[in-house]
Amino acid sequence: MGVIITSAIILVVSVLLQKQEGGLGTAFGGGGSSYRSKRGAEKMIFYLTIISATIFMGTSLVALVIK
């Protein structure tokens, strides 16, 4: 249970730390910014988000099956 809570907190923090670029408007063709690669801390936070989401989903599914 502690792993689920810890990974959920890390997931929320890592999502909130990511740069906000235009919100919902960019989903429908707005924004007009060009593609650029992630570097440094931005890349580390991106990978941390993916890893914590995977851990959260995996442990949640295991807890669901065990219960």
pLDDT tens digits, one per residue of 16-54: 888 766 555 455 555 555 666 777 888 898 899 999 999
**Predicted pLDDT of residue 29:** 57
| Residue 58 counted as domain residue | yes
The total domain count for the chain is 1
Q: What is the pTM of this model?
A: 0.72
pLDDT surpassing 70 at residue 61: yes
User: Quick check: is 25 in a domain?
Assistant: no
| pLDDT at residue number 1 | 83
pLDDT at 31: 55
7 assigned to some structural domain: yes
For residue 65, what pLDDT is reported?
95
> Measured on CA atoms in the order 8, 47, 17, 25, is the torsion positive or negative?
negative
DSSP of 13-63: HHHHHSPP-SGGGGGGT---PPP----THHHHHHHHHHHHHHHHHHHHHHH
How big is the chain by its Cα radius of gyration, in Å?
15
Instruction: List the domain range (segments joined by +) for residue 7.
Output: 1-16+40-67
Predicted confidence at residue 60, as pLDDT, reads: 95
